[in-house]
Each structure stands twice: as C-alpha cells, then as structure tokens.
Amino acid sequence: PRSKDFLYEGDKLSLNFQNIEIRAILQIVADFANLNLVASDAVVGAITLRLKDVPWDQALDIVLKTKGLDKRVQGNVLLVAPAAELADQERAQLENLQEIAELAPLRTELIKVKYANASDIVALFSSQGNGGQNNAGETAAGVVSDRGSILVDDRTNAIIVTETPSRIAQLRTLLNQLDIPVRQVMIEARIVKASDSFKREAGIRWGTAGNISWGDSPNGIQYGSSMETLGGAPSENLIVDLGTGSGKTGGIAFGLVNNDLLLDLELQLFESEGMGETVSRPTIITSDKSSATVNSGSQIPYQSDTGGGATATAFVNATVGLTVTPQITADDRIILELDVTNNSRGDPTPGGPPAIDIESIQTKVIVSDGETVVLGGLYQTRTDLIQLKTPVLGNLPLVGRLFRNSARTKDKDELLIFITPKIIRESGDRVR
C-alpha cells in the first residue's frame, strides 16, 4: 500500500535471485547501503526473491522477517541475528547494568528547589512502585532505586537524595525541567458606577440582537468609525457593544475592549463630566492558573441580640466580588475563569439583619494579552432620605411639622467592571 512508503526512506534497488544464501543477500544489501555487516552464526539458509524498485531498508526487513531474523544498527554497522538471540543478549546486558548499579557506591546530595514546592516534587517522583522514602514515610520511585532514598526539608524547600551518581544526575535533569518559574499575570480591574447618560454618551449598549463585527476585528470596541450589527443596519459610534444580552430586565452582559489607553481616556472624560464614577481600581498579580479575588463595597451595621436583653453591633457585607483565574495558552492568549457576585442591600427586615440581594455568575472567556473584558448588568440600590421644609417655619416646634416633608428615594446605579489581564515577562516587563 502507498501508506507503507512513508516507513522506508532508503534508496531503491531491485533483487532477483533464486536459492541464494541468506548471508550473500545480506551482504549485497549492506554494500548497497554502505554498511558493515556482522551476522550471527545462526544466520543460515537460502532464499528466493524477486523485488523491483524497493527501498533497501524495506527489502532488508522482508528478508529478515522471512527467516525469523532481526537487526540492530550501531553507527555504520549492521548486526543481524535471530530475533530471540538479540532479545536474550539485550536482556543479559540490562541485567548486567542493573547488577553494576546495585554495586555502585551511594552518595547523598542536597538539591534546592527554587520555584516549585519540594513536597510536590517528591510526590511526583513517588507516583509508582517502591523506592526511597519522603518525610511522610511515603515511597518514591522512578529515578530513585530500591537502595536509594529521598527526603523533603520543608524549612529550606530542598530535597535530600541518597542514590548512585548516575541516578542523581537523572534526578537533577528531571528537576531542572520541572522546577521553572510559573508565568504571572497582572490583572487590572476598574469598577465604574455608571449613569444612564454615561452609557448613552460612551456608547455602551446591552442586549443588542445579533453579533458585532466591523473591518477585520470582531472585538466589541471601535473608535472613530461606525460598527455594524450583522443582519441589521449600521449602528452609531460605540465604545462597547455586547451583542446578545439579557435585555433591559437585568442580568450580566459581556463585551471586549482592545484599546486600554483609549478606554482610560474615555472613563476620565465621563467622570469629569459627572456621568460616572470609578469606585475602585485595584491591580493585582497572580500566577498562571491561580485565583485572584477583588471585593469592593461596604458593610451594613445592624443591632444583633446577644441574649439577656443585650445587643451588639454586627455587620453584613454588601459588596461586588470578583474572582479571576487566568490561564496562559501556548499562543500567549489568556483564558479567564470569572466568578462575579453582586451583593446589594435588599428590603429591610424588622428585628433582623438587613436583607442582601445576591446576584452571581460564573463563566469563562478567552482574550488576547492586554485586552479588556467588560462586565455589565450589575446594579446597586441606593436609598436616600430627603427632607424638604419651609425656611424658618419648618424649624418651629410642634407646628413645624406642618411645614416639613420627608421622602425616601430609591435609586439604582449600574456597575461596569473592566478586567484587563496582562502577561508579565520573567524580567518584570509586561508583554504589552
């Protein structure tokens, strides 16, 4: 079959012999391939064959299989013997090496682990079989023989190995491949309290039908040009259009921003005009596949009954929580596992702690290095007590109540969360 051609790369030759000695045909093939031939005494017999335009290595395999022979190539020497004989020789060589290793002197070395956890390294070595022991009494195998041992020094994050020099060298080689610094990601988060005018002027739109695309970029941002909704008419200039969302009834929506600098300028502009407020802007660094958590909000005090008629002040959290777990891909993109919670004050409960309305979502997105993920549809409720009164008359005792009016207002602000992950180089410089 044609697929077999890929297994053989030798130059092609043709052979046409009747009842030729097997040693003679082996010598012909060896001469054609410029190899020296060593044949076992058990290589005897004759063979008849007719091969035309066959790679020499394929022709050699055909001859060997016909006679139950096998080969080993060492440099430019071709060794041919019965398959069982070669297997016995290699088995004997392996046993000799094992006996030599058992007689080799043992040596103890201290190997410091730079980046990984020494206990994790030993646990990896102890994944199978019997062998040395770690500090928990577990066995370690693989690079550690039955004669050797491996211990963990948690205080110095080092491993103590007692083994032969060759096995210690193997362990060092493997450790150098495992003990490497984990790549890190800097996560910048902006929590912005936005008004309706902010969203209208900034061009942030939730709940748009269809997918968003313009030019060569499918990301949810465009400056200075119009953006089109597939299947519809061109839309106005937008900073962020999040495609299909949950509509005006709430829910958390998503979008992408691919220009961090222009985003900062836009946020500063709208904040200076009173249309938005940056509530928090934390920046944290976390390792690849490690979680980072950001919380922003307040604690609501209330009186808690401690028994015996006594009370104490307790607190409940009304916060926006964000947990991000980044994973760097082979092409330097970032998979973000996002866990968002929005705990806001709910309706009051007489005689108990304040009610907390909980909204949460868990999702996973993939972004480019330095690209910003936008989360919207989070709402915080603000309750204000407003008192209106007539000057002077409203301050009079008793009758002053006739000239005063109190009203409780309940407003709702939307929170926008901008998350920008950036890969950090080993030197400390960001990739972008």
Query: Are 213 and 119 found together in one domain?
Result: no
Query: Are 366 and 222 found together in one domain?
Result: yes
Position 422: which residue type? K
pTM > 0.85:
no
Is 432 a member of any domain? no
In whole angstroms, give the CA distance from residue 15 to residue 54: 9
In whole angstroms, give the CA distance from residue 123 to residue 20: 59
Cβ contact 161:112 at 8 Å: no
Q: What is the per-residue pLDDT for 38?
A: 93
What tokens appear for 244 in the block? 């299909």
Q: What is the DSSP letter of 131?
A: -
What tokens appear for 119 in the block? 């206990």
In whole angstroms, give the CA distance from residue 423 to residue 432: 8
Query: Are 148 and 241 found together in one domain?
Result: no
Is 430 a member of any domain? no
Query: Are 141 and 279 found together in one domain?
Result: no
| H/E run at residue 99 | helix 83-103
| Residue with token string 């097997």 | 22
Query: Are 283 and 197 found together in one domain?
Result: yes
- Exposed/middle/buried for 172, CB within 10 Å: 0-12, 13-18, 19+? middle
Position 174: which residue type? L
CATH number at residue 26: 3.55.50.30
Query: Are 92 and 134 found together in one domain?
Result: no
Is 429 a member of any domain? no
Phi, psi of 31 (to 5 degrees): -65, -40
Query: Are 144 and 93 found together in one domain?
Result: no
Q: What's the domain range around 124?
A: 104-178
Query: Are 220 and 279 found together in one domain?
Result: yes
Which of 58, 78, 98 terminates a domain? The answer is 98
Quick one: which of 121, 162, 165, 168 has its CA closest to 143? 168
Query: Are 56 and 169 found together in one domain?
Result: no
Query: Are 110 and 85 found together in one domain?
Result: no
In whole angstroms, give the CA distance from residue 378 to residue 252: 6
Is 238 a member of any domain? yes
Which of 145, 178, 211 terminates a domain? The answer is 178
Q: Is 164 helix (H, G, I), strand (E, B) or coil?
A: coil
Number of domains in the chain: 3
Largest CA distance in the chain: 132
Is 52 a member of any domain? yes
Cβ contact 159:111 at 8 Å: yes
Is 295 a member of any domain? yes
Query: Are 260 and 150 found together in one domain?
Result: no
CATH number at residue 114: 3.30.1370.120
What tokens appear for 406 in the block? 């109190």
What tokens appear for 262 in the block? 């222009």
Q: Are strands 240-241 and 204-205 parallel, antiparallel or unpaired?
A: parallel
Query: Are 41 and 109 found together in one domain?
Result: no
pLDDT (tens place) for every residue of the chain, 432 residues total: 444 445 888 899 999 999 999 999 999 999 999 999 999 999 999 999 999 999 999 999 999 999 999 999 999 999 999 999 999 999 999 888 878 877 888 899 999 999 989 998 888 887 644 444 444 333 344 567 788 888 999 999 999 999 888 889 989 999 999 898 889 999 988 888 776 656 555 555 444 333 333 233 333 333 332 223 223 333 343 444 444 333 333 444 445 555 555 666 666 666 666 667 777 888 889 999 999 998 877 888 877 777 777 778 888 888 888 899 999 999 999 999 988 888 877 776 776 777 887 878 788 888 889 888 887 776 666 666 667 777 777 677 777 777 777 766 666 677 778 888 999 987 644 444
Which of 157, 178, 199 terminates a domain? The answer is 178
Is 431 a member of any domain? no
Query: Angle at CA 98, nearest 5°, toward 94 and 104?
Result: 140
Return the HEC string of 93-154: HHHHHHHHHHHCCCEEEEEECCCCCHHHHHHHHCCCCCCEECCCCCEECCCCCCCCEEEEEC
